[in-house]
């Protein structure tokens, strides 16, 4: 393995470990050594890659989002646009253990952003990336003729807002909100705007 590949592998392990530790105990309680131990690296090596907790946190958030996006978009050029968009909607909710962990990271981000200006700016930028992710999927469907034209920015904002709202209720284990109901409710707005069937597409 080349030095470049070893470096990339080390960063991957550190960021994966950081996501796990932050989700487990919260950003305010983590120590760099905890992440180093989880990643199986020395504290010195961790500091070589990430010299502050804040930098590690922002990189971990970016890493989490990027991994999810890559998986969802794996066959975006061949799969129906509605299937890709439905995947995105599912991945905006805590639909499995990995996404549940991602949601805990987002909740840590929200809390920190309320008290730290640098984190607030970073959070706004991450939301812009999410907005673009949804919007690009909608635009592809419109361009291919699969979706009825609509105001893409308005729909993207609505999808993110609904996902946040339902996601919080699901994370709280609110007995009045189920995952299936949340997906159906969000997709109902999507399908109305884009001229699609109300049933959430499956693979």
pLDDT in tens, 172-196: 999 999 999 999 999 999 999 999 9
Question: Which pLDDT does position 89 carry in this prediction?
Answer: 95
Question: Which pLDDT does position 130 carry in this prediction?
Answer: 93
Distance from C-alpha of 110 to C-alpha of 167, rounded to nearest angstrom: 13
Question: Which pLDDT does position 74 carry in this prediction?
Answer: 81
The model carries a pTM of 0.88
CA distances from 82 to 30, 68, 148, 157 (A): 40, 18, 12, 18
CA distances from 69 to 18, 53, 99 (A): 19, 24, 12
Band of residue 152 on the pLDDT scale cut at 50, 70, 90: very high
pLDDT in tens, 42-66: 999 999 999 898 899 999 988 888 8
pLDDT in tens, 61-113: 888 888 777 778 888 788 899 999 999 999 999 999 989 999 999 999 999 99
Residue 139: name the closest of 85, 186, 184 by CA.
85
Band of residue 18 on the pLDDT scale cut at 50, 70, 90: very high
Helix (H) or strand (E) holding 19: helix 3-25
pLDDT in tens, 153-171: 999 999 999 999 999 999 9
Distance from C-alpha of 57 to C-alpha of 23, rounded to nearest angstrom: 11
Question: Which pLDDT does position 42 carry in this prediction?
Answer: 92
Match 């309680």 to its residue by tokens: 29
Find the mean pLDDT for residues 113-134.
Answer: 94
Band of residue 1 on the pLDDT scale cut at 50, 70, 90: low
């Amino acid at each position: 393995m080349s030095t470049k590949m070893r470096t990339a592998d080390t960063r991957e392990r550190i960021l994966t470990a950081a996501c796990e530790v932050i989700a487990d105990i919260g950003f305010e309680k983590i120590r760099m050594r905890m992440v180093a131990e989880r990643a199986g690296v020395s504290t010195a090596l961790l500091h070589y890659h990430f010299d502050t907790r804040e930098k590690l946190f922002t990189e971990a958030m970016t890493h989490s989002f990027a991994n999810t996006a890559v998986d969802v978009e794996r066959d975006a050029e061949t799969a129906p646009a509605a299937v890709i968009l439905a995947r995105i909607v599912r991945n905006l909710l805590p639909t499995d253990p990995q996404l549940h962990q991602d949601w805990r990271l987002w909740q840590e981000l929200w809390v920190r952003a309320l008290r730290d200006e640098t984190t607030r700016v970073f959070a706004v930028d991450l939301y812009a990336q999410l907005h673009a992710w949804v919007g690009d999927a909608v635009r592809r469907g419109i361009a291919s003729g699969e979706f009825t034209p609509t105001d893409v920015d308005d729909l993207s904002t609505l999808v993110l807002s609904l996902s946040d709202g339902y996601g919080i209720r699901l994370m709280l284990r609110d007995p009045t909100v189920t995952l299936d109901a949340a997906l159906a409710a969000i997709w109902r707005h999507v399908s109305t705007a884009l001229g699609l069937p109300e049933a959430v597409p499956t693979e």
